[in-house]
Amino acid sequence: MKVAAAQFAPTADAVANLAVIEEMTADAVAAGAELVVFPEESMLPSDFSTETDAQLRELAIAHWEPFLEGLSRIARTHGIAVIAAGYEDSGTALPYNTMAAVDAEGEVLGLYRKMHLYDAFDYKESRRIQRGDTGPVVVRIGDFNVGLVNCYDVRFPEFTRSLVEMGADLLAVSAAWVKGPLKEDHWQTLLRTRAIENTCWVVASSLTTPDCIGMSMAVDPLGVVRAALGEEERSLLVVDADKDRIDRARTVLPVLRNRRIIIGPR
């Protein structure tokens, strides 16, 4: 299955962001992709002008349903599965940070509400976002079981291992990976590590807003970087994620069979 990762810099205009998603989805289809992964905050960046938690919730209430409907329409129109993230009303004072996976017919396969909030590097996501408690989430797209991973989640090996325990053979990572000392190195190292230790494909997309690194990447089950972007504000990569590569990796490197401690989904 050909999988694309699309990186771009969303603005305060949710309608314009959805238009960019559609244009990039069309580009992914033209490149032969059956799935395209977009970044965290594709709907709207959280801090473009938000002064209060209440304002972010209002934005979630106003824009989440049109965003989800738009993703379904785009997927159905172009005949490709789409994964993207935005802010969903939680019914509380704080919204969820939610990834949506939609199939090529426009059906919503699953919603993953971010479980690991980014309370690190002098940032406090939990002040503005309600933590999700209904994950992890794996969806079926083509011949692949795809695990949904939202940014900071990738720092937790037990989380991605739980996805693999649930059958995931490809991890789709949507991120707004913030710039900072060693952050680019962490991003590359973590993506390759999650692929190697789980002998699975990893396809990751990150924002290219001024505070984020871009550097979207596709890594194969033995940790080889098969495609990568830099800081391009708007760009697309496509990788042929084949199941044979997983089988070969798990034959020569049977770490999943050799385990002595099993961690399942909670």
For tokens 């594709």, name the residue: 42
User: Are 212 and 199 contacting, i.e. CB atoms less than 8 angstroms apart?
Assistant: no
Which among 8, 78, 75, 73 has a CA at the least distance from the CA of 43?
Answer: 8
User: Are 148 and 137 contacting, i.e. CB atoms less than 8 angstroms apart?
Assistant: yes
Q: What are phi and psi of 235, to 5 degrees?
A: -160, 165
Q: What is the helix (H) or strand (E) element at residue 100, kind and residue range?
A: strand 96-102
3-state secondary structure of 235: strand
Active-site positions?
40, 114, 151
Q: Rounded to whole angstroms, how far apart are CA atoms 57 and 91?
A: 9
Q: Rounded to whole angstroms, how far apart are CA atoms 203 and 241?
A: 9
